[in-house]
C-alpha cells in the first residue's frame, strides 16, 4: 500500500491506476489516512533538507568572507554580504514547499482535472446529458443554458448543480458559480459530494481579498470530514 501511495504522488502510475487510487481514497479510510501521513512526512523531510542546505550556503559565505577580509574594502564587503543574502533567500524561496501560488494550482486543477465530465452511458438522453456534452466540448455558455433550464424542473439535482457551477467556473464567472456549489455542499445526504471542494477552488481562482483564507478553511473541512476532493485538498494545503 505504501509503495502505491508513493508512486501516486510521484506521478509514476498509469492513468487507469491513478484513477483507481483516487477512487479508493474516497472509500478506503485507511488508505486516505496513510496518504495524509505520507504527505506530512514528505513535507517534514523537505523542510529538513532546506534547513541543511541553508546552513551549508551560509557556511560557504562565511568562509569566503573570512578568507578575503584583509583585502576587501567596505564597499566590497557590502556587495558580498548582499550576494550571500540573496543566495540564501533564493534557495529558500525556490525550494520552500509552502511558497506556492495557490491560485495557479487551482488554475491547473481546473484546466487538467475538471476539463471533462463523465457521461453516463446507457441512460436515456436528457437535457442534463446534453449540458455535460456541451461542457466536454468546451461550449460552456451553452452548457450553462441547458443546465439552468434543467434546474427549473429539478432544482435540487446535484449533478445539474455541479455542471452549472463548473461551467460558470470555466467562464470565470465566480459569483455565479459559488451559489451552485454552496447549494451542492448543503446536501449532506449525498454519498459523494464535491461541493465544498469546488467552493474552495472558486475562492482560490477568484483570488480576491480574504479569498485564500476562506479557501483554506474549506479545504481543511474537506480533509477533516473526508469529503470528495480530499486528496486534492491535501496537496493544496501542503
- List the chain domain ranges: 2-99, 103-236
How far is residue 54's CA from residue 177's CA, in Å, rounded to a whole number? 44
**Grid coordinates standing for 150?**
434543467
Position 25 scores a pLDDT of: 73
Position 87 scores a pLDDT of: 44
Residues 6+ apart with CB under 8 A from 162: 180, 181, 184, 194, 195, 198
Position 156 scores a pLDDT of: 94
- Which of 103, 131, 101, 107 has its CA nearest to residue 119? 131
Which strand (E) or helix (H) includes residue 62? Answer: helix 29-67
Tell me what the pLDDT averaged over the chain comes to: 79
Phi/psi at 7 (nearest 5 deg)? -65, -35
Residue 94 CA from chain centroid, whole number:
19
Q: What is the tens place of the pLDDT at every residue in 131-162?
A: 999 999 999 999 999 999 999 999 999 999 99
| Architecture field, domain 103-236 | Alpha Horseshoe (1.25)
Position 184 scores a pLDDT of: 97
Low-confidence ranges of the chain (pLDDT < 50): 61, 68-72, 74, 77-99, 124
Q: pTM of the full predicted structure?
A: 0.59
Which strand (E) or helix (H) includes residue 201? Answer: helix 195-206
Position 91 scores a pLDDT of: 46
**Grid coordinates standing for 141?**
455558455
CA dihedral (215, 48, 31, 109) positive or negative? positive
Position 174 scores a pLDDT of: 97
Amino acid at each position: 500500500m505504501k509503495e502505491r501511495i508513493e508512486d501516486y504522488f510521484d506521478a509514476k502510475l498509469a492513468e487507469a491506476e491513478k484513477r483507481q487510487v483516487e477512487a479508493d481514497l474516497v472509500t478506503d479510510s485507511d488508505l486516505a489516512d496513510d496518504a495524509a501521513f505520507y504527505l506530512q512526512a514528505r513535507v517534514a523531510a523537505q523542510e529538513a533538507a532546506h534547513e541543511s542546505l541553508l546552513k551549508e550556503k551560509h557556511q560557504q559565505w562565511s568562509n569566503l568572507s573570512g578568507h578575503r577580509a584583509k583585502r576587501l574594502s567596505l564597499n566590497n564587503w557590502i556587495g558580498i554580504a548582499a550576494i550571500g543574502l540573496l543566495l540564501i533567500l533564493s534557495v529558500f524561496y525556490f525550494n520552500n514547499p509552502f511558497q506556492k501560488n495557490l491560485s495557479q494550482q487551482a488554475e491547473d486543477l481546473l484546466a487538467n482535472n475538471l476539463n471533462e465530465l463523465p457521461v453516463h452511458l446507457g441512460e436515456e438522453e436528457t437535457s442534463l446529458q446534453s449540458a455535460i456534452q456541451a461542457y466536454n466540448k468546451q461550449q460552456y455558455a451553452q452548457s450553462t443554458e441547458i443546465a439552468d433550464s434543467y434546474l427549473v424542473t429539478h432544482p435540487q439535482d446535484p449533478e445539474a448543480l455541479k455542471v452549472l457551477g463548473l461551467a460558470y467556473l470555466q467562464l470565470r464567472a465566480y459569483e455565479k458559480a459559488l451559489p451552485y456549489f454552496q447549494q451542492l455542499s448543503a446536501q449532506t445526504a449525498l454519498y459523494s459530494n464535491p461541493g465544498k471542494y469546488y467552493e474552495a477552488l472558486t475562492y482560490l481562482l477568484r483570488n480576491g481579498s480574504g479569498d485564500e483564507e476562506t479557501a483554506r478553511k474549506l479545504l481543511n473541512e474537506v480533509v477533516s470530514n473526508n469529503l470528495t476532493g480530499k486528496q486534492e485538498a491535501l496537496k493544496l494545503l501542503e
